[in-house]
Structures are given as structure tokens and as C-alpha cells.
Structure 1
């Protein structure tokens, strides 16, 4: 059964507690991810022999702490010693930076993969790579482009045959597979004829699909999503206090950047062509290998150092004035603003809520909303021994 034996885009579910049925088992997202990593580890073991293996694992820059912890756990379940988790745009910059050690420049990494989108601005200074700002959308990628095509194909079948293939699991899976082929073809061709003799069955008769889809039509379907990535680009430049003209190089990373419209959008906004000497599929993995080389000492003499930033603000829950100026709990007080270079230590002063209060529950959150209920809780602890004093 297709439903029970396959899962797609599990990366988007990392960090959630949702259990996914797969091959008769109910698994957490990190347990499914571990199956993939375990297969990768078998290749490494075949090449280097059995034994303990350390790993550098990359994640989208906009992953939350829960998602990063789940990714680390997936690696450990697969049998790796997870030495470090690094952001994918930073990894791509490391791959690029290794060949440009002596250069001083600002690099923008535009990372549009199958399930997520990240964009980071990185300053290179004679081997030091410092991330200035990062942003993105962990629910935007090539998968969404595929489903836009699926919807378009389904609408054509509805118009012609009065049947919606999206209501048939097998038909939906067939269209999803075809949609990915269409996306890839229209990245190099101007049009494509879709010919599927059997998509679904209606009244015991086969229902197929024969239609032409052009690149122009495809771009129209996904343009709103591509413009959302440009909005993120503008935001990251603003947060880095840079103008488009300050960017020296643009790196396009991720398979979805092969879509010509992506290059057009970037070229039109920056007034320059993105670099073509970075492999969109391999750049992040190469960067992880560079980080592994730095850690192991194999690349110690390169002088390459990477400094990243906190993708989200971190702070604690406090009493805060709400509507009508009534003070209520649950306000978010930022201690470490987003895009602060890490590692970092920060402190702040707070007052107790009542006279003589000797302890306080400190709840730690990650996010950007002024109220903690809309952010991600990282943990909490009880602070005791507060000296007796007035609030």
C-alpha cells in the first residue's frame, strides 16, 4: 500500500511529536530521518570499515531548537556521533570560502531546496566567515511547486472528465511524480506535453490526461512563492544593514534554483548574475565536509573560521502590559536578539512580582512575537534563594 510504505518531505515534520505510520509502525519524524541516515552510514562503513563515525549534519538556518535537537537525535539513532549541527547556507559559504580564503567580500546565499528556503548574508574577511543575518521559511520549497502543478493537472481533468484525481490516493501519487518531472523539464525546456493514459478510473473506464504545460504557465503557478523568497532576501539585507549593491557574490543553492525564473528574480534585484561555479546540489554537503575537515585538523592550515548567528530571538516570560494596560503574565522579554553572533553570553535585570518573593519560575522561549504563547518554549527552571526585598 502506497500510504503505508512511503513518506515524503519528513524534514518539514522534524521537531514535531506527530507519529507517522510507515511499514506498519508508528514512527516519529526523527526516527524516519534516522532510517535515511542509517543507510548513508552503511555506505561510509563499506568504504572505511565498521566503527564509530562522527558526523556534521546540516539543517535549514530557520530551524527551531526543537527541530535541531530532533535532527541531532536522528543522527544518533542512525549510529553517528553528531559532532556538530550547522546551518545549510553557512555550509554552502564554507564550500565557497575554501577557494576564496584571501578575499574580503559580502556573499548572499539563496538556498531553495525541496522543502525549505533559507537566505543568509555572510561577510568574508581573509578566511573568517561571519554570518551577518539569516531568515527563511521552513515550509517553502520545491515540494510546493510540485503540488501547484498537481492542482493544475487535476483541474484540467476536472474540466475534461468531471473527475478529481486528488481524491484517489494512487492517482494523486502518480500526478505528484509527474509534477516533479514537469518541474525539472520546464527548467530547461519551454514546454512539455504530459501524456498519461491511465490516471484514475471512472465508471470502470480508464481516465487519462493529455495536455501541454508551458514554462510561462508553470512560472505563473509559482510566482507568488518565488516573490515570497524575494521578500526574505530584502528582509535579510535590511537586518544586515546592507544594500543590494553591497553584495559582491550571490550563491544559488538547492535543486529548485535551477528554475530559470529564480535566476531572473535575483539578477533583476541585484543587477548582477549569480555565480555559476557553485553546484546547487552539492554545495551544502561540500560545506559540511569542509567543517569536518576543520574539526579533524585536515584543513587546519586553511585558516578558515565560520561564525554563525542565532536565527531566532531568545528570552524569557515576564509580566507585561496588555490591552487596556492591565499587566498580565506571558510577555516575551528578549535577552538575545535574533541574528546575534554566537556563541554569546547576555544578562539582564528583572524585578520580582511581589514583596518578599524568594523564588521564580523562569521560562525560556525562542521566537519573535511579543507574547510567549506564540513562540517556542525551550525549557524552564526554578530560581530560588532570591533575597528578601520589595517588588
Structure 2
């Protein structure tokens, strides 16, 4: 039996680790006060290491002459790349050496997770790496942090849970698991909104006092790079209350980073009007400065403005600095009205027209209004939540949290029939996901309330359609459901109702799909070729069967 339960939040912007000692068999879980946070050693300056609660999910590749060998010594040895706080700061001062938001690249629609594309603006001497490699690098740093503090409790022997977005497709989940295996982790995965809900459960003396049968809890998890939405229903199970995750939102690349960039471009436009045009490396520095100014303004409503300084190259840093001012009014208009405007239930997220040519980058959302994405999600699943759980560092700002509460209450006022919308708040918005993952591991091993979840969508495999070929059209393909929504780990396998032939001895393409809705389809359900638009296509697999073996390339 493992000595510890470990929860890892491998976040887009920050990563965190929580842990708790396992209880001897037969003892009752006492979760309050048992779950602790691991301080993560990282560079804060050349040759300076500090253990901090959060590890910024940034990787910086320094020039070979940029640091002395002694500058890059961590408690567990020499670093070949810089991870964490110093990486973020260095990347803000120069371009072409920093990788960020690697997690979002794992489920890119046009770039494979093992394709070396990062940094996207890499300098000629910087060797590009894949999103999978960056994921492995971040996990390796966290593993080393654990080992340095718990040398007598090898992490490979512990129960580890890693959080991923609920909207991750199977390929992205598999890549995360493979990266964990490469650094010695035997880990399970849990959806981030579900982990946030487990964190709330861990704080409750009796969670059933706060919920009733048929309650629907909307979980809104706004991180640095993504917004994740889920619905959890309170159900009756043999005369007692139970919990079941009933819906999951799509992958929405929209979060706190977008807010920082909004302020950055606002100030850059002001500077341009005054004749000052910033270079790309200065834009990165301005973004870092805007993030800090935003946090100051949001935490103090009485503060009217904050000066933002953008360094410029020259002999004197101060004489060549560029100054701008970010006001409280800027923050209110650009962030509150831009990201959390009032909307009516049923409003859809707006689709922006795409350019014919575009640089390789993430599939960012065209509509920044988080409230519209929430409205679309609720209407799509035809559920009226009565409880809301907010999670993510964005909601540390009281003005943002209270604004969203007000907007959601107005949106759902008709369905609430005069009742108040109840807000459920985890103990710490920045750390709840890692804490919840630890509690989830604890519950799985030692008992406690579980949220029934399973697969977040129906999954299908493409099968050649019996329809005849038509000139000018690709050969028609039907989709056959092979794994239904809600299928839980360890469930017994089900046989397909029909037999299918398999092509051997030649290269073929296997196509995979997933549903866009949470309605459960039975194994063997056929989605015809003309109806494939109702599904989302995942990455295909190309290979051939020979003598019972599958070769993939």
C-alpha cells in the first residue's frame, strides 16, 4: 500500500501538488487538515532557488552563454532548461526561447502532440520540442521536487492522480499518461472541474446538508488558459443522496491569459497612437507588467490607476523605459464588460470569421464572453442549475466573482422561480484542483462519497458505409459507438451487435469520433455518413495489420 496520496494539477499557467498520508486499514478518513501542499523548488533568479506553492508552467531554453554552470543548480542537480518563475520572467524579456500553454497544444486540431513545434517563434539556435516533451519536462520537475523532500517515499510507489481538462480528447489523455509513465509515475486522471468539486466535498462536514435530490451544480473552472464547464446532478441512490457528473463542455481556450493580453493590446494601441511602436519582446514584457497591474487594481477598488513600465534596450534602463497607465476604468470596461457581459439564457458564443492563412498557434476562441459560453452550455443540455461552484485564480478578484454571480442569477432567474442561486466556494481558488485530486485518490482507496463520472462523451470508430461510391465525394463512412458516455473505468466490455471485416496487408486509415452531447448511446449505435456533422472527429490512426500485429507510422 502506498504511503501517500498525491494530487497533481498540471495547469496551463500554474502547476501545483497536494498530498496526504494514507490511513492504516480500517481507520476513518479525517480529511480536514490532513491534505497538505508541496512547496516546489524553482529558480527565482540566476543561482537562486526558492520553494513556492505554485510552479508557473513555463519552460525557458537559455543560450549556452546566458548562465554560469553554477547558476543552474537545483536541489536535485543541474538543469538543462529553466522551469517555473524565472522562466516566465526571462521569457517576458526576450522572444524565441519560451514555451507556455503546452497543455493546450496536446489537443490541437491540426498539430500532433509529438510534433516539435514549440516555441512557435523559436530562434534559429533553439531546438524545437513537442507539447508531449514539455509535459514530460514539467512532470519531471514536480517528481524531482517530491523526491528531494520525500526521499524515503519514492513517488513511483505512491497513489498519484493528475488533473486534465474535462474536454480533453482520448489522444490528449493518453499523451498525458504516457508522459507520466516516462518520469516514473503510475497515475490516474481526473477531470479538473470534478477535482474542484471534490475539493469542495473535502471541506464539508456533511455535504448532504447543502444539496437536495435533483439539484444540478454548474462548475465553472476558469484557469489561465482555458474555461472548463461541467454539470453534476444530485441523485437518489438506495434511499441516500448520490452524485453524478452528467455533462461536460467543449474545450474552450479562454482564460486569465486572454485578460492579460486584452490589457496589453489596449496599452500598446495607446502607445502606438503617441508614436511609440513596441517590438515583440516588449509586448511580452508589457504583458507581464499588465498582469501585475491588473492584480493590484482588482484587489483594491480605491486604487485609481497603476503605472506600467516597459523596458527598452539602452545603456540606462530608466532613461529608456516606456511608461503607460492602466486605470481602474480600463479594467472594469475591458475585463468585466468584455469577458462577463450580461446575456440571456440560450445566447450562443459568436463565431469569428477565420483567415485563409494563419500562423501556427493555438485554436483560441473567437468570442471572449465567458457568460455566453456558459449560456450556450446550459441551453445545450437543457438543464437549469440551482447551485454554482466557481474555481480558478481569476475569481480571486471579488469584483469578477460577484459580477459573474450577478450575471448567472439574472440569466437563470426565470428557472429559479424566486429562489436564490446558491454559490459553493472551494477553500482556495488557485489550489482547489490539486487538493481535490488528492481527496479523490483518498476516497477511491479508503471510501467516502464518490461522484459517478466515467467517459465524458460517446466514442465511435469509423466503418466503411454500405453506401455506393459517388463521383466527386470521398468514400462514405459510418460511425459505430464503441464506448458510451458515462462508461466507468473497470466496466465489463460489451460486444458489438454486428460483425465487421478488417483489411489486412495494406496501409489503412482508422477514423475516430466523439459526440458533442451528453446523451448516452448504446454500444453499436450507428451514426450514418450523412449525419457525421453531429460528431467531432478526433485524430486518425494510420497503419496496417500483418500477422496479427499493428504497425503504426
State which of 457, 460, 473 in structure 2 corresponds to 1:315.
Answer: 460
Within the alignment, does 1:232 sit opposite 2:373 as a pair? yes
Distance change in 2, residues 1:270/1:374 (3 Å)? closer
Aligned in 2, Cα 1:78/1:194: closer, same or farther, shift over 3 Å? farther
Give the equivalent residue in structure 1 for 2:332. Answer: 216
Task: Supply the distance in 1 between the matched residues of 2:268 and 2:473 (Cα, whole angstroms).
Answer: 52
1:119 aligns with 2:234: no
SS at match of 2:323: strand
5 Å-filtered alignment, 1:240-279, equals 240-243=381-384, 247-259=385-397, 260=400, 261-271=403-413, 272-279=421-428
1:187 aligns with 2:301: no
1:19 corresponds in structure 2 to 117
Matches within 5 A, 1:61-210: 61-82=166-187, 84-98=188-202, 99=204, 100-102=206-208, 103-104=211-212, 105-125=215-235, 126=240, 128-160=242-274, 162-165=275-278, 167-169=279-281, 171-190=282-301, 193-200=305-312, 206=320, 208-210=322-324
Contiguous gaps of at least 5 residues in structure 2: 1-61, 63-93, 108-112, 342-364, 414-420, 517-530, 547-553
- Where structure 1 has 5 or more consecutive residues not aligned to the other structure, the ranges are 385-391
Question: Once structures 1 and 2 are overlaid, which stretch shifts more, 257-266 or 324-333?
Answer: 324-333
**Aligned-residue offset at 1:201:** 5.9
Compute the TM-score of the two structures, normalised by the length of structure 1.
0.79
| 248-257 or 55-64, larger mean C-alpha shift | 248-257
**2:130 maps to which of 15, 25, 28:** 28
Give 1:47 deviation, angstroms.
3.5
Aligned to 1:9: 101
TM-score, L = length of structure 2: 0.58
Q: Number of matched residues?
A: 367
**For 1:343-382, what aligned pairs fall within 5 Å after superposition?**
343=488, 359=503, 363-367=510-514, 368=516, 370=532, 375-377=537-539, 379=541
1:215-248 CA deviation, whole Å, 9 max, x = no partner? 32332443578874333333443454422xxx33
1: distance between equivalents of 2:321 and 2:393?
32
Deviations 1:107-127 (A, max 9, x none): 211100001111111123446
Larger fraction in helix:
1
| Helix, strand or coil at the partner of 2:424 | coil
Does the CA contact (< 8 Å) of 1:136 and 1:232 recur in 2? no
Instruction: Give 1 or 2: higher strand fraction.
Output: 1
User: Contact conserved, 1:63 with 1:138, CA < 8 A, in 2?
Assistant: no
The answer to whether the 8 Å contact 1:135/1:311 transfers is no
1:88-115, Cα deviation, whole Å (9 max, x unpaired): 1111122223424545442211100001
